[in-house]
Amino acid sequence: MKVGQSLDVPENTEVLDYRNFTITPGLIDSHTHILTNQGLNEDLSIDAVMNSSESRVLRAAYFADSYLNAGFTTIRDLGNSGQYLDVEVKNAIEKGYIKGPRMLVSGPIIGSMDGQFYHLPVKDFQRISEQEQTMISGVEEAKKAVKEHIVQGVDVIKILAIGNRLTLSLDEMKAIVQTAHEQRLKVTVHCDRDWAVQAAIEAGVDGVEHGYGFRDTTLKIMAKKGIYLVPTYGSVKGAVHYHEIMNLKYNIEDIRNSLERRGKDLIRASQLGVRIVAGSDAYHDTKMPRGDDAKQTIWGYYDYGLSAEDVLKTATANAAIALEMKDQIGVIKENAFADLAVFEGDLKKDFKKSLFQVKMVMKDGKIQYQK
């Protein structure tokens, strides 16, 4: 892809004139779950119990197309996807069987023996947990789990710092990180509380997902070590939408106040030098296109005080670095992948409106969506 002014245009070239639009690199969602569609009042395990692998893959194809139409040209899928169903969807997109963004995938999340399913009957716990996750106990099982994931074709390893009650031990996490790094794969950790992330940081993880309420000391260590943060925070608009589809009464100021702490966390982390990477963690059935649902996180970052430029950076250049694809995606430059998103209007002046008015999406130099 050539980028610049006064370029020589070969004869018979189709010229697309977007002088009154905003052109950005293709957007990146670094925390997706397109094999899951959890009801808003259901347990996480219900979707896995009630739907076959075939149904989940077909549904994921629909979600993938929605992401592409919303301007996302790359997503990173982080588990809750059965036994490597995410790899199947990724391969189908790469082979051209279905349309969707470029995918990087983790396979089953690696965690302790209690996983993330809290309300399953005892007789069903083992079966469902082993279907959805890789539960380990001990260093050797940790190493073996990473190698199995690599053999199955994953791009990143995702671990649970803490499941329902149990944590992975420091030695287990060190074994996971060392094994992954030896094979040139990065490790990101699910962690939603400060105390539980300390062992993961010591073990050498590359990224942290969620990161609610981290202390300044923790954020400073992350910044020093170059550990990125994916704050999967929602927006005021998303919270209002939830209340409306659930027929719940709400007060807009109460919603804003309840989300204010998340905004302070985000700004604090950014100011302390932590690389912020956009990730939606969208996996609920919100009755809106999955791609639009994913944008609620980007909208939220803007609500919380990041500038339009900084918000876009979290979903482009910052994400590209976290995904080990710097200068390939998340930028518009010569020799990068030709991933572009075109939005109506001026994103700087009317960010929230333009973000949802996608005019054209290009991936690898080919138009995937055009309005």
Domains of the chain: 21-370 (3.20.20.140)
pLDDT at residue 227 in the model: 98
Q: Which of 217, 197, 180, 213 is nearest to 324 (CA)?
A: 180
Reported as half-sphere exposure (CB side, CA atoms, 13 A), residue 341 has a value of 28
The pLDDT tens digits for 299-354 are 999 999 999 999 999 999 999 999 999 999 999 999 999 999 999 999 999 999 99
> Could you give the count of Cα atoms lying within 13 Å of 133 in the half-sphere of its Cβ?
22
Predicted confidence at residue 295, as pLDDT, reads 97
Neighbours of 10 (CB within 10 A): 6
User: How many Cα atoms are found within 13 Å in the side-chain-facing hemisphere of 3?
Assistant: 15
First to last CA, the chain: 23
Q: Indicate if the alpha-carbon torsion angle 231, 259, 315, 101 is positive or negative.
A: positive
**Per-residue pLDDT tens digits for 53-86:** 999 999 999 999 999 999 999 999 999 999 999 9
Among 147, 145, 83, which Cα is nearest to 113's? 145
3-state DSSP call for residue 280?
A: coil
Name the CA radius of gyration of the chain, rounded: 20
CA 75 – CA 63 distance, rounded (Å): 11
Enter the pTM of the model: 0.95
* 109-122 average pLDDT score: 85
Q: Residue 33 phi/psi, 5° resolution?
A: -145, 70
**Per-residue confidence band for 127, with pLDDT thresholds at 50, 70 and 90:** confident
Residue carrying structure tokens 């996180």:
297
C-alpha dist (Å) from residue 212 to 122, 226, 262, 300, 348: 30, 18, 7, 15, 28
Residue 119: what pLDDT? Answer: 76
Distance CA 176, CA 170 (A): 10
Q: Is the pLDDT of residue 1 over 80?
A: no
> Is pLDDT of 6 > 90?
no
Q: Residue 274 class from Cβ within 10 Å (0-12 exposed, 13-18 middle, 19+ buried)? A: buried
Q: In this predicted model, which residue has the larger pLDDT, 279 or 43?
A: 279
pLDDT of residue 13: 86
C-alpha 74/C-alpha 185 separation (Å) is 18
Closest CA to 67 of 279, 230, 240, 353: 279
Residue 172 has pLDDT above 90, yes or no: yes
